């Protein structure tokens, strides 16, 4: 259904920019080179044929053991054409940065803050990159696969005399 979107992307961008496309379970997806992340988003929103005007979701997947380790996952939708597409943008462990797209779809603002909070992805050009679900004193990024599930960081210290 959204094959049209993938065709448009392949027309407009080279194979070095759109690395891979595919379709699974009715979801069309494209893997985008990190440097072109924002340009591809801008194109999808403004192009007459795609008109991806609605922001749906942005999150991250930790593909522990693979390089690049993180995939920033974006879902967008077109309210006129009624098609949607998923984009992956890779970010490595040493340098987990990618361009912020909150200037393309302003709704990405909070979702990028969440991805930063839980995965430690730094979105360059984000207007206000703070933690959103965890508290500011929290150390680490809890949804990373190497963050132990049992690890606790209570804000209230049980033993007032103890110094950690």
Partner 1 sequence: MATDNTRTVTAPAAPTTRRVVMGIREAADLEELELPSETMPLNMGPSHPAMHGTVRMVLEVEGEKITSADVQVGYLHRCFEKESEFATYTQIFPYTDRLNYVSPMLNNVGYAMAVEKLLGIEHKVPERAQFIRVIAGEMSRITDHLTCLGAGAMELGAFTPFLYAIKFREWLWELLEELSGARLTHSFVRIGGVAGDLTEGFCDKLRDVLRRGREVMSDVDKLLTRNRIFRDRMDGIGLITKEDCCAYGITGPMARASGLAYDIRKDHPYLVYDRFDFDVPIGSVGDNFDRFAVRLEEMQQSLRILEQAMEKIPAGPVMLDDPRVALPPKSETYNSIEAMISHFKLIMDGIRVPAGEVYSFTEGGNGELGFYIVSDGTGRPWKCRVRPPSFANTAILGKILPGLFIADVVPTFGMVNMIGGECDR
What residue ranges bind partner 1 (CB under 8 A)? 24-27, 29, 53-57, 59, 61-62, 73, 75, 79, 82, 86, 105-107, 109-111, 114, 118, 131-135, 142-143, 149
Q: Which two tokens stand for residue 23?
A: 């379709």
Output 25 or 158, the one with its CB closest to partner 1: 25
| Shortest spacing between CB 40 and partner 1, in angstroms | 17
Output 18 or 118, the one with its CB closest to partner 1: 118
How many CA atoms lie less than 13 Å away from 149 in the CB half-sphere?
0
Calpha distance 155→164 (Å, rounded): 13
Burial class (CB in 10 A: 0-12, 13-18, 19+), 108: buried
Output 39 or 143, the one with its CB closest to partner 1: 143
| Shortest spacing between CB 111 and partner 1, in angstroms | 8
| Shortest spacing between CB 14 and partner 1, in angstroms | 25
> Torsion over CA of 145, 147, 108 and 8, rounded to 10 degrees?
-10
Output 155 or 163, the one with its CB closest to partner 1: 155
| Shortest spacing between CB 8 and partner 1, in angstroms | 19
64 touches 145 (CB < 8 A)? yes
The DSSP output letter for 47 is: -
């Amino acid at each position: 259904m959204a094959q049209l979107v993938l065709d448009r992307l392949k027309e407009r961008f080279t194979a070095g920019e759109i690395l891979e496309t595919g379709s699974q379970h009715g979801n069309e997806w494209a893997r985008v080179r990190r440097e072109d992340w924002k340009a591809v988003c801008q194109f999808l929103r403004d192009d007459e044929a795609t008109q991806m005007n609605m922001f749906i979701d942005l999150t991250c997947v930790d593909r522990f053991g693979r390089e690049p380790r993180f995939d920033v996952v974006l879902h967008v939708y077109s309210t006129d054409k009624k098609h949607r597409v998923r984009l992956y943008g890779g970010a490595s462990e040493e340098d987990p940065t990618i361009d912020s797209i909150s200037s393309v779809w302003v709704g990405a603002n909070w979702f990028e803050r969440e991805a930063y909070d839980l995965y430690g992805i730094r979105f360059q050009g984000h207007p206000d990159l703070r933690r959103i679900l965890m508290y500011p004193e929290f150390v680490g990024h809890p949804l990373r696969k190497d963050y132990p599930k049992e690890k606790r960081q209570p804000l209230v210290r049980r033993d007032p005399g103890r110094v950690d």
